[in-house]
Structure 1
Amino acid sequence: MPFQLPLTKTRFSDLLANTTFARLLAGRIITDAGDSLYYIGSMWLVYDLTGSTFYTGLAAALLQVPNVLSFLVGPLIDRWDLRPILLGTQLTNALGVLIVPLVATLGHLTVWWVLILMPILDLINGFVYPAQNAALPKIVGSEQLTRANSMFTTSIRTVGMIANAVAGVLISALGAIALFAIDATTFVLAGVLFLGVTTTNSTNTTDDQSSASDDATTDDSYLTDLRGGIAYVRGSALSVILLGMMLGNFVSVAVNVVLPAFANSIGAHLSTDF
Protein backbone atom coordinates (compact mmCIF):
# COMPACT_ATOMS: atom_id res chain seq x y z
CA MET A 1 0.00 0.00 0.00
CA PRO A 2 1.60 3.30 -1.06
CA PHE A 3 2.46 5.78 1.65
CA GLN A 4 0.36 8.95 1.60
CA LEU A 5 0.97 12.18 3.45
CA PRO A 6 -1.95 13.24 5.63
CA LEU A 7 -3.97 16.06 4.12
CA THR A 8 -4.88 19.01 6.27
CA LYS A 9 -8.03 20.82 5.25
CA THR A 10 -8.25 24.51 5.96
CA ARG A 11 -11.74 25.94 6.00
CA PHE A 12 -12.56 29.59 5.51
CA SER A 13 -14.17 29.58 8.95
CA ASP A 14 -10.85 28.52 10.47
CA LEU A 15 -9.13 31.50 8.88
CA LEU A 16 -11.82 33.92 9.99
CA ALA A 17 -11.51 32.60 13.55
CA ASN A 18 -8.05 34.17 13.50
CA THR A 19 -8.98 37.71 14.60
CA THR A 20 -5.76 39.22 13.22
CA PHE A 21 -6.42 37.71 9.79
CA ALA A 22 -10.08 38.77 9.96
CA ARG A 23 -9.02 42.36 10.68
CA LEU A 24 -6.48 42.32 7.87
CA LEU A 25 -9.03 40.91 5.42
CA ALA A 26 -11.74 43.36 6.46
CA GLY A 27 -9.26 46.22 6.19
CA ARG A 28 -8.26 45.06 2.73
CA ILE A 29 -11.88 44.86 1.59
CA ILE A 30 -12.54 48.40 2.82
CA THR A 31 -9.27 49.62 1.27
CA ASP A 32 -10.25 48.07 -2.07
CA ALA A 33 -13.63 49.77 -1.88
CA GLY A 34 -12.01 53.10 -1.03
CA ASP A 35 -9.55 52.79 -3.92
CA SER A 36 -12.38 52.13 -6.36
CA LEU A 37 -14.42 55.06 -5.10
CA TYR A 38 -11.35 57.30 -5.29
CA TYR A 39 -10.40 56.20 -8.81
CA ILE A 40 -13.89 56.54 -10.29
CA GLY A 41 -14.47 59.82 -8.47
CA SER A 42 -11.15 61.28 -9.62
CA MET A 43 -11.60 60.34 -13.27
CA TRP A 44 -15.14 61.71 -13.32
CA LEU A 45 -14.16 64.89 -11.52
CA VAL A 46 -11.32 65.53 -13.98
CA TYR A 47 -13.74 65.20 -16.88
CA ASP A 48 -16.39 67.25 -15.07
CA LEU A 49 -13.94 70.10 -14.49
CA THR A 50 -12.50 70.13 -18.01
CA GLY A 51 -14.90 68.32 -20.36
CA SER A 52 -11.76 67.01 -22.08
CA THR A 53 -10.59 63.45 -22.70
CA PHE A 54 -7.07 64.85 -22.91
CA TYR A 55 -7.14 65.57 -19.19
CA THR A 56 -8.69 62.21 -18.33
CA GLY A 57 -5.90 60.64 -20.36
CA LEU A 58 -3.36 62.72 -18.47
CA ALA A 59 -4.92 61.63 -15.17
CA ALA A 60 -4.75 57.97 -16.19
CA ALA A 61 -1.11 58.39 -17.22
CA LEU A 62 -0.21 60.03 -13.91
CA LEU A 63 -1.84 57.17 -12.03
CA GLN A 64 0.48 54.72 -13.80
CA VAL A 65 3.62 56.48 -12.55
CA PRO A 66 3.39 54.94 -9.04
CA ASN A 67 2.85 51.52 -10.65
CA VAL A 68 6.05 51.93 -12.65
CA LEU A 69 7.92 52.68 -9.41
CA SER A 70 6.27 49.91 -7.40
CA PHE A 71 9.25 47.56 -7.84
CA LEU A 72 11.15 49.85 -5.43
CA VAL A 73 8.66 49.18 -2.64
CA GLY A 74 9.24 45.47 -1.99
CA PRO A 75 12.69 45.68 -0.37
CA LEU A 76 11.47 48.52 1.85
CA ILE A 77 8.47 46.52 3.06
CA ASP A 78 10.84 43.76 4.19
CA ARG A 79 12.70 46.25 6.41
CA TRP A 80 9.87 48.23 7.99
CA ASP A 81 7.35 47.35 10.66
CA LEU A 82 4.15 46.37 8.87
CA ARG A 83 1.49 47.83 11.17
CA PRO A 84 2.74 51.46 10.91
CA ILE A 85 2.76 51.05 7.11
CA LEU A 86 -0.81 49.75 7.07
CA LEU A 87 -2.05 52.42 9.46
CA GLY A 88 -0.03 55.32 8.06
CA THR A 89 -1.07 54.80 4.45
CA GLN A 90 -4.76 54.75 5.32
CA LEU A 91 -4.71 57.85 7.51
CA THR A 92 -2.59 59.75 4.97
CA ASN A 93 -5.01 58.84 2.20
CA ALA A 94 -7.98 59.88 4.36
CA LEU A 95 -6.46 63.33 4.88
CA GLY A 96 -5.41 63.55 1.24
CA VAL A 97 -8.81 62.88 -0.28
CA LEU A 98 -10.40 65.41 2.09
CA ILE A 99 -8.35 68.13 0.41
CA VAL A 100 -10.63 67.98 -2.63
CA PRO A 101 -13.95 68.77 -0.86
CA LEU A 102 -12.15 71.34 1.31
CA VAL A 103 -10.74 73.20 -1.68
CA ALA A 104 -14.09 72.91 -3.46
CA THR A 105 -15.86 74.43 -0.43
CA LEU A 106 -13.43 77.35 -0.52
CA GLY A 107 -14.15 77.84 -4.22
CA HIS A 108 -10.60 77.17 -5.41
CA LEU A 109 -10.96 73.71 -6.93
CA THR A 110 -9.27 73.27 -10.31
CA VAL A 111 -8.30 70.18 -12.25
CA TRP A 112 -4.68 70.62 -11.16
CA TRP A 113 -5.55 69.90 -7.55
CA VAL A 114 -6.90 66.52 -8.61
CA LEU A 115 -4.06 65.79 -11.04
CA ILE A 116 -1.43 66.50 -8.39
CA LEU A 117 -3.17 64.57 -5.62
CA MET A 118 -3.96 61.46 -7.66
CA PRO A 119 -0.42 60.13 -8.24
CA ILE A 120 0.76 61.17 -4.75
CA LEU A 121 -2.02 59.28 -2.98
CA ASP A 122 -1.65 56.33 -5.32
CA LEU A 123 2.08 56.21 -4.59
CA ILE A 124 1.40 56.20 -0.84
CA ASN A 125 -1.21 53.49 -1.21
CA GLY A 126 1.27 51.46 -3.25
CA PHE A 127 2.80 50.41 0.07
CA VAL A 128 -0.35 48.95 1.60
CA TYR A 129 -0.92 45.96 -0.70
CA PRO A 130 2.66 44.64 -0.53
CA ALA A 131 2.54 45.16 3.24
CA GLN A 132 -0.69 43.16 3.48
CA ASN A 133 0.79 40.36 1.39
CA ALA A 134 3.96 40.37 3.50
CA ALA A 135 1.88 40.17 6.68
CA LEU A 136 -0.04 37.06 5.61
CA PRO A 137 2.71 34.45 6.23
CA LYS A 138 3.25 35.99 9.67
CA ILE A 139 -0.36 35.68 10.83
CA VAL A 140 -1.49 32.35 9.30
CA GLY A 141 0.11 28.94 9.20
CA SER A 142 1.83 27.62 6.10
CA GLU A 143 -1.02 25.14 5.52
CA GLN A 144 -3.48 28.05 5.50
CA LEU A 145 -1.50 30.41 3.28
CA THR A 146 -2.90 29.27 -0.06
CA ARG A 147 -6.49 29.66 1.03
CA ALA A 148 -5.73 32.98 2.72
CA ASN A 149 -4.20 34.28 -0.52
CA SER A 150 -7.23 33.12 -2.47
CA MET A 151 -9.53 35.02 -0.12
CA PHE A 152 -7.46 38.16 -0.61
CA THR A 153 -7.46 37.81 -4.40
CA THR A 154 -11.20 37.17 -4.49
CA SER A 155 -11.81 40.25 -2.35
CA ILE A 156 -9.92 42.46 -4.80
CA ARG A 157 -11.93 41.30 -7.81
CA THR A 158 -15.33 41.16 -6.17
CA VAL A 159 -15.16 44.30 -4.06
CA GLY A 160 -13.58 46.32 -6.87
CA MET A 161 -16.39 45.41 -9.26
CA ILE A 162 -19.14 46.21 -6.75
CA ALA A 163 -17.49 49.43 -5.56
CA ASN A 164 -17.10 50.69 -9.13
CA ALA A 165 -20.85 50.31 -9.64
CA VAL A 166 -21.62 51.93 -6.27
CA ALA A 167 -19.31 54.83 -7.15
CA GLY A 168 -21.33 55.49 -10.30
CA VAL A 169 -24.58 55.52 -8.34
CA LEU A 170 -23.14 57.85 -5.69
CA ILE A 171 -21.79 60.26 -8.29
CA SER A 172 -25.18 60.37 -9.95
CA ALA A 173 -26.97 60.95 -6.64
CA LEU A 174 -24.51 63.09 -4.67
CA GLY A 175 -21.84 64.29 -7.07
CA ALA A 176 -18.13 63.53 -7.33
CA ILE A 177 -17.10 65.93 -4.54
CA ALA A 178 -19.24 64.11 -1.97
CA LEU A 179 -17.66 60.84 -3.09
CA PHE A 180 -14.28 62.05 -1.83
CA ALA A 181 -15.72 62.71 1.64
CA ILE A 182 -17.23 59.22 1.71
CA ASP A 183 -13.92 57.80 0.53
CA ALA A 184 -12.09 59.41 3.46
CA THR A 185 -14.39 57.49 5.80
CA THR A 186 -13.42 54.16 4.23
CA PHE A 187 -9.72 54.87 4.75
CA VAL A 188 -10.31 55.78 8.41
CA LEU A 189 -12.27 52.56 8.97
CA ALA A 190 -9.50 50.52 7.35
CA GLY A 191 -6.93 52.25 9.56
CA VAL A 192 -8.91 51.40 12.69
CA LEU A 193 -9.01 47.74 11.64
CA PHE A 194 -5.28 47.70 10.93
CA LEU A 195 -4.64 48.91 14.50
CA GLY A 196 -5.47 45.38 15.64
CA VAL A 197 -3.12 43.67 13.20
CA THR A 198 -0.07 42.23 14.91
CA THR A 199 2.53 40.07 13.24
CA THR A 200 5.16 37.67 14.52
CA ASN A 201 8.71 38.08 13.34
CA SER A 202 9.79 34.99 11.44
CA THR A 203 13.46 35.92 11.79
CA ASN A 204 13.73 36.17 15.56
CA THR A 205 16.86 34.03 15.64
CA THR A 206 18.84 36.56 13.66
CA ASP A 207 17.38 39.78 15.03
CA ASP A 208 20.00 40.33 17.73
CA GLN A 209 22.84 39.54 15.37
CA SER A 210 21.62 41.84 12.61
CA SER A 211 20.38 44.79 14.68
CA ALA A 212 23.87 46.04 15.46
CA SER A 213 24.80 46.36 11.81
CA ASP A 214 21.45 47.51 10.41
CA ASP A 215 22.34 51.19 10.25
CA ALA A 216 25.58 50.54 8.39
CA THR A 217 24.24 48.11 5.83
CA THR A 218 20.67 49.25 5.12
CA ASP A 219 21.47 51.00 1.85
CA ASP A 220 23.73 48.23 0.55
CA SER A 221 21.32 45.43 1.47
CA TYR A 222 18.40 47.32 -0.08
CA LEU A 223 20.24 47.64 -3.40
CA THR A 224 21.34 44.01 -3.18
CA ASP A 225 17.75 42.82 -2.67
CA LEU A 226 16.55 45.11 -5.46
CA ARG A 227 19.13 43.76 -7.92
CA GLY A 228 18.34 40.21 -6.84
CA GLY A 229 14.63 40.71 -7.46
CA ILE A 230 15.23 42.22 -10.91
CA ALA A 231 17.60 39.39 -11.82
CA TYR A 232 15.07 36.79 -10.68
CA VAL A 233 12.29 38.28 -12.79
CA ARG A 234 14.56 38.68 -15.80
CA GLY A 235 15.64 35.04 -15.65
CA SER A 236 12.17 33.52 -15.24
CA ALA A 237 8.83 33.27 -16.99
CA LEU A 238 7.64 36.20 -14.90
CA SER A 239 9.13 38.61 -17.46
CA VAL A 240 6.75 37.27 -20.12
CA ILE A 241 3.82 37.38 -17.71
CA LEU A 242 4.64 40.96 -16.78
CA LEU A 243 4.75 41.92 -20.45
CA GLY A 244 1.27 40.50 -20.93
CA MET A 245 0.05 42.37 -17.86
CA MET A 246 1.52 45.60 -19.21
CA LEU A 247 -0.35 45.18 -22.48
CA GLY A 248 -3.56 44.39 -20.61
CA ASN A 249 -3.14 47.46 -18.42
CA PHE A 250 -2.55 49.61 -21.50
CA VAL A 251 -5.86 48.50 -23.01
CA SER A 252 -7.65 48.95 -19.67
CA VAL A 253 -6.30 52.48 -19.24
CA ALA A 254 -7.26 53.39 -22.81
CA VAL A 255 -10.84 52.27 -22.13
CA ASN A 256 -11.01 54.10 -18.79
CA VAL A 257 -9.88 57.34 -20.42
CA VAL A 258 -12.96 57.56 -22.61
CA LEU A 259 -15.48 56.14 -20.11
CA PRO A 260 -16.39 59.48 -18.45
CA ALA A 261 -17.04 61.12 -21.84
CA PHE A 262 -18.97 58.06 -23.01
CA ALA A 263 -21.09 57.95 -19.84
CA ASN A 264 -21.77 61.68 -20.13
CA SER A 265 -22.91 61.31 -23.75
CA ILE A 266 -25.20 58.40 -22.87
CA GLY A 267 -26.67 60.40 -19.98
CA ALA A 268 -27.26 63.40 -22.26
CA HIS A 269 -29.10 61.24 -24.80
CA LEU A 270 -31.26 59.68 -22.10
CA SER A 271 -32.18 63.09 -20.68
CA THR A 272 -33.27 64.37 -24.11
CA ASP A 273 -35.34 61.25 -24.70
CA PHE A 274 -37.38 62.00 -21.58
Structure 2
Amino acid sequence: MLSEKFVELFKSAFGFDPVCSGSEPTCIFQEGQKIYVKYQGRVVAEFEDDERDYGAILHYYAQKTGIITPLDKRVEELLRGLFANIIVLTEVEDRNGFSHSQRVAKIAEAFARYLGWSEERCEELRNHALLHDVGKIAIEQLMLYSPTRLREFEQHYEDHPIMGTIYLSIHETLWKYIPTVRSHHERWDGKGFPDGLKGEEIPLYARIIAIINYYDEVTNFVSADWDSELKTPEEALAEIEKLAGSWFDPELAQKFVKFMREEFLKTNG
Protein backbone atom coordinates (compact mmCIF):
# COMPACT_ATOMS: atom_id res chain seq x y z
CA MET A 1 0.00 0.00 0.00
CA LEU A 2 1.37 3.39 -0.98
CA SER A 3 2.40 5.71 1.84
CA GLU A 4 0.08 8.57 2.82
CA LYS A 5 2.83 11.06 1.97
CA PHE A 6 3.16 9.72 -1.58
CA VAL A 7 -0.61 9.55 -2.10
CA GLU A 8 -0.93 13.16 -0.91
CA LEU A 9 1.79 14.33 -3.33
CA PHE A 10 0.26 12.33 -6.18
CA LYS A 11 -3.22 13.77 -5.63
CA SER A 12 -1.77 17.26 -5.39
CA ALA A 13 0.07 16.81 -8.71
CA PHE A 14 -2.60 15.01 -10.77
CA GLY A 15 -5.92 15.61 -9.00
CA PHE A 16 -6.88 11.96 -8.49
CA ASP A 17 -5.88 8.94 -6.40
CA PRO A 18 -3.10 6.62 -7.58
CA VAL A 19 -4.96 3.40 -8.32
CA CYS A 20 -4.02 0.21 -10.10
CA SER A 21 -7.30 -1.59 -10.74
CA GLY A 22 -6.23 -3.06 -14.06
CA SER A 23 -8.19 -0.76 -16.39
CA GLU A 24 -5.63 2.06 -16.50
CA PRO A 25 -2.88 1.92 -19.16
CA THR A 26 -0.44 3.44 -16.63
CA CYS A 27 -0.63 2.99 -12.86
CA ILE A 28 1.45 2.93 -9.68
CA PHE A 29 1.43 0.36 -6.88
CA GLN A 30 3.65 -0.69 -3.98
CA GLU A 31 4.87 -4.07 -2.77
CA GLY A 32 7.11 -4.15 0.29
CA GLN A 33 9.65 -1.34 0.08
CA LYS A 34 9.34 -0.94 -3.68
CA ILE A 35 7.09 1.39 -5.69
CA TYR A 36 6.33 0.13 -9.20
CA VAL A 37 5.06 1.81 -12.35
CA LYS A 38 3.05 -0.46 -14.60
CA TYR A 39 2.44 0.43 -18.27
CA GLN A 40 0.09 -1.53 -20.53
CA GLY A 41 0.05 -4.50 -18.21
CA ARG A 42 3.75 -4.82 -17.42
CA VAL A 43 6.09 -3.26 -14.88
CA VAL A 44 8.33 -0.69 -16.57
CA ALA A 45 10.05 0.88 -13.56
CA GLU A 46 10.69 0.29 -9.90
CA PHE A 47 11.81 2.68 -7.18
CA GLU A 48 12.76 2.45 -3.52
CA ASP A 49 10.08 3.77 -1.17
CA ASP A 50 12.16 6.81 -0.28
CA GLU A 51 10.60 10.25 0.12
CA ARG A 52 13.63 11.77 -1.61
CA ASP A 53 12.63 9.86 -4.78
CA TYR A 54 8.95 10.76 -4.79
CA GLY A 55 9.51 13.69 -7.15
CA ALA A 56 11.34 11.46 -9.64
CA ILE A 57 8.56 8.85 -9.47
CA LEU A 58 5.87 11.45 -10.17
CA HIS A 59 7.91 12.87 -13.03
CA TYR A 60 8.36 9.41 -14.56
CA TYR A 61 4.63 8.70 -14.24
CA ALA A 62 3.81 12.01 -15.91
CA GLN A 63 6.07 11.15 -18.85
CA LYS A 64 4.57 7.69 -19.34
CA THR A 65 1.02 9.05 -19.32
CA GLY A 66 1.93 11.91 -21.69
CA ILE A 67 1.08 14.60 -19.13
CA ILE A 68 4.55 15.98 -19.76
CA THR A 69 6.81 15.02 -22.63
CA PRO A 70 10.38 13.81 -22.34
CA LEU A 71 13.11 16.34 -23.12
CA ASP A 72 14.07 14.65 -26.41
CA LYS A 73 10.50 14.89 -27.65
CA ARG A 74 10.36 18.58 -26.79
CA VAL A 75 13.65 19.13 -28.59
CA GLU A 76 12.31 17.27 -31.64
CA GLU A 77 9.12 19.35 -31.65
CA LEU A 78 11.12 22.56 -31.38
CA LEU A 79 13.56 21.69 -34.18
CA ARG A 80 10.86 20.22 -36.42
CA GLY A 81 8.73 23.31 -35.94
CA LEU A 82 11.68 25.58 -36.72
CA PHE A 83 12.47 23.76 -39.96
CA ALA A 84 8.79 23.58 -40.95
CA ASN A 85 8.39 27.34 -40.48
CA ILE A 86 11.44 28.08 -42.62
CA ILE A 87 10.22 25.70 -45.34
CA VAL A 88 6.78 27.32 -45.47
CA LEU A 89 8.29 30.82 -45.53
CA THR A 90 10.43 29.95 -48.56
CA GLU A 91 7.57 28.38 -50.52
CA VAL A 92 4.98 30.15 -52.64
CA GLU A 93 1.50 30.33 -51.13
CA ASP A 94 -1.62 29.43 -53.06
CA ARG A 95 -4.76 31.57 -53.11
CA ASN A 96 -5.82 29.99 -49.81
CA GLY A 97 -2.52 30.85 -48.12
CA PHE A 98 -1.04 27.34 -48.11
CA SER A 99 2.38 26.33 -49.39
CA HIS A 100 3.43 23.16 -51.23
CA SER A 101 4.64 21.36 -48.09
CA GLN A 102 1.50 22.30 -46.17
CA ARG A 103 -0.71 20.94 -48.94
CA VAL A 104 1.30 17.72 -49.18
CA ALA A 105 1.07 17.32 -45.40
CA LYS A 106 -2.70 17.88 -45.41
CA ILE A 107 -3.29 15.27 -48.12
CA ALA A 108 -0.86 12.83 -46.48
CA GLU A 109 -2.67 13.01 -43.15
CA ALA A 110 -6.07 12.52 -44.80
CA PHE A 111 -4.75 9.62 -46.90
CA ALA A 112 -3.33 7.93 -43.78
CA ARG A 113 -6.78 8.10 -42.15
CA TYR A 114 -8.29 6.60 -45.31
CA LEU A 115 -5.81 3.72 -44.96
CA GLY A 116 -7.11 3.13 -41.43
CA TRP A 117 -3.95 4.20 -39.60
CA SER A 118 -3.99 5.28 -35.94
CA GLU A 119 -4.16 9.00 -35.16
CA GLU A 120 -0.58 8.87 -33.88
CA ARG A 121 0.67 7.39 -37.15
CA CYS A 122 -1.40 9.85 -39.21
CA GLU A 123 0.26 12.71 -37.37
CA GLU A 124 3.66 11.10 -37.87
CA LEU A 125 3.18 10.89 -41.65
CA ARG A 126 2.01 14.52 -41.64
CA ASN A 127 5.24 15.56 -39.90
CA HIS A 128 7.32 13.61 -42.41
CA ALA A 129 5.44 15.33 -45.24
CA LEU A 130 6.02 18.79 -43.79
CA LEU A 131 9.78 18.18 -43.78
CA HIS A 132 10.13 16.33 -47.10
CA ASP A 133 11.55 19.37 -48.93
CA VAL A 134 13.72 20.68 -46.08
CA GLY A 135 16.78 20.39 -48.33
CA LYS A 136 15.42 23.09 -50.64
CA ILE A 137 16.29 25.65 -47.97
CA ALA A 138 19.92 25.29 -49.10
CA ILE A 139 18.97 25.83 -52.75
CA GLU A 140 16.94 28.91 -51.82
CA GLN A 141 19.99 30.33 -50.01
CA LEU A 142 22.15 29.61 -53.05
CA MET A 143 19.64 31.25 -55.38
CA LEU A 144 19.37 34.33 -53.16
CA TYR A 145 22.92 35.36 -54.00
CA SER A 146 22.92 34.14 -57.61
CA PRO A 147 22.41 36.37 -60.66
CA THR A 148 20.98 33.36 -62.55
CA ARG A 149 18.56 32.02 -59.97
CA LEU A 150 16.53 29.62 -62.14
CA ARG A 151 19.67 28.11 -63.64
CA GLU A 152 21.05 27.49 -60.16
CA PHE A 153 17.81 25.80 -59.14
CA GLU A 154 17.85 23.54 -62.21
CA GLN A 155 21.50 22.59 -61.66
CA HIS A 156 21.08 21.76 -58.00
CA TYR A 157 17.50 20.39 -57.87
CA GLU A 158 18.61 16.77 -57.42
CA ASP A 159 20.82 17.79 -54.49
CA HIS A 160 17.96 18.73 -52.18
CA PRO A 161 17.29 15.24 -50.74
CA ILE A 162 20.96 15.00 -49.74
CA MET A 163 20.99 18.55 -48.36
CA GLY A 164 17.89 17.67 -46.35
CA THR A 165 19.71 14.67 -44.91
CA ILE A 166 22.55 16.94 -43.82
CA TYR A 167 20.17 19.40 -42.17
CA LEU A 168 18.35 16.68 -40.23
CA SER A 169 21.60 15.14 -39.01
CA ILE A 170 22.09 18.07 -36.60
CA HIS A 171 20.23 16.26 -33.81
CA GLU A 172 19.40 12.60 -33.30
CA THR A 173 15.72 13.36 -32.59
CA LEU A 174 15.33 14.29 -36.28
CA TRP A 175 17.08 11.23 -37.69
CA LYS A 176 13.80 9.35 -38.08
CA TYR A 177 12.81 11.81 -40.85
CA ILE A 178 15.99 11.25 -42.87
CA PRO A 179 14.84 8.17 -44.86
CA THR A 180 11.73 10.02 -46.07
CA VAL A 181 13.56 13.24 -46.91
CA ARG A 182 16.37 11.41 -48.70
CA SER A 183 14.19 8.98 -50.66
CA HIS A 184 11.01 10.83 -51.71
CA HIS A 185 12.38 11.19 -55.28
CA GLU A 186 13.27 7.52 -55.65
CA ARG A 187 11.22 5.59 -58.22
CA TRP A 188 9.60 2.17 -58.03
CA ASP A 189 11.63 1.06 -61.09
CA GLY A 190 14.93 2.16 -59.54
CA LYS A 191 15.50 5.15 -61.84
CA GLY A 192 15.02 7.86 -59.23
CA PHE A 193 17.55 9.77 -57.13
CA PRO A 194 19.77 10.09 -55.14
CA ASP A 195 20.42 6.38 -54.44
CA GLY A 196 18.57 4.49 -57.17
CA LEU A 197 16.49 2.51 -54.68
CA LYS A 198 13.92 0.15 -56.18
CA GLY A 199 10.52 -1.18 -55.09
CA GLU A 200 10.16 -1.78 -51.37
CA GLU A 201 13.77 -0.73 -50.79
CA ILE A 202 12.21 2.74 -50.77
CA PRO A 203 10.87 3.61 -47.28
CA LEU A 204 7.07 3.47 -47.01
CA TYR A 205 6.58 7.12 -46.06
CA ALA A 206 8.83 8.20 -48.95
CA ARG A 207 6.74 6.10 -51.38
CA ILE A 208 3.55 7.75 -50.18
CA ILE A 209 4.95 11.27 -50.25
CA ALA A 210 6.41 10.71 -53.74
CA ILE A 211 2.88 10.26 -55.08
CA ILE A 212 1.40 13.22 -53.19
CA ASN A 213 4.39 15.42 -54.02
CA TYR A 214 3.88 14.71 -57.74
CA TYR A 215 0.15 15.36 -57.53
CA ASP A 216 0.59 18.71 -55.81
CA GLU A 217 3.37 19.88 -58.10
CA VAL A 218 1.59 19.17 -61.39
CA THR A 219 -1.67 20.74 -60.18
CA ASN A 220 -0.03 23.88 -58.78
CA PHE A 221 3.21 24.56 -60.71
CA VAL A 222 4.18 24.80 -64.36
CA SER A 223 7.39 22.81 -64.68
CA ALA A 224 9.43 21.59 -67.62
CA ASP A 225 9.86 18.34 -65.69
CA TRP A 226 6.15 17.57 -65.96
CA ASP A 227 4.36 19.66 -68.57
CA SER A 228 4.04 23.14 -70.05
CA GLU A 229 0.76 23.82 -68.27
CA LEU A 230 -1.04 22.96 -65.06
CA LYS A 231 -2.92 19.69 -64.88
CA THR A 232 -6.42 19.39 -63.49
CA PRO A 233 -6.80 17.07 -60.50
CA GLU A 234 -8.34 14.39 -62.72
CA GLU A 235 -5.52 14.70 -65.28
CA ALA A 236 -2.97 14.36 -62.48
CA LEU A 237 -4.69 11.25 -61.11
CA ALA A 238 -4.86 9.71 -64.57
CA GLU A 239 -1.11 10.34 -64.94
CA ILE A 240 -0.42 8.71 -61.55
CA GLU A 241 -2.31 5.65 -62.77
CA LYS A 242 -0.06 5.54 -65.86
CA LEU A 243 3.10 5.94 -63.76
CA ALA A 244 2.11 3.25 -61.24
CA GLY A 245 4.65 0.45 -61.38
CA SER A 246 7.36 2.63 -62.92
CA TRP A 247 7.51 5.81 -60.86
CA PHE A 248 5.19 4.89 -58.01
CA ASP A 249 4.35 1.92 -55.80
CA PRO A 250 1.46 0.41 -57.81
CA GLU A 251 -0.62 -0.61 -54.80
CA LEU A 252 -0.27 2.74 -53.05
CA ALA A 253 -0.92 4.62 -56.30
CA GLN A 254 -4.15 2.70 -56.83
CA LYS A 255 -5.33 3.41 -53.27
CA PHE A 256 -4.35 7.08 -53.53
CA VAL A 257 -6.26 7.62 -56.77
CA LYS A 258 -9.34 5.95 -55.29
CA PHE A 259 -9.03 8.04 -52.11
CA MET A 260 -8.73 11.31 -54.04
CA ARG A 261 -11.66 10.59 -56.34
CA GLU A 262 -14.01 9.17 -53.73
CA GLU A 263 -13.18 11.29 -50.69
CA PHE A 264 -10.64 14.12 -50.74
CA LEU A 265 -11.68 16.00 -53.89
CA LYS A 266 -15.35 15.80 -52.93
CA THR A 267 -14.75 17.56 -49.60
CA ASN A 268 -11.83 19.81 -50.59
CA GLY A 269 -12.84 20.59 -54.20
TM-score past 0.5 threshold: no
| Structure showing the higher strand proportion among its residues | 2
- The structure, 1 or 2, with the larger RCO (C-alpha pairs under 8 Å, 6+ apart) is 1
Largest Rg, 1 or 2: 2
Question: Which of the five TM-score ranges fits, normalised by the shorter chain?
Answer: under 0.3
Q: What TM-score results when the alignment is normalised by the length of structure 1?
A: 0.26
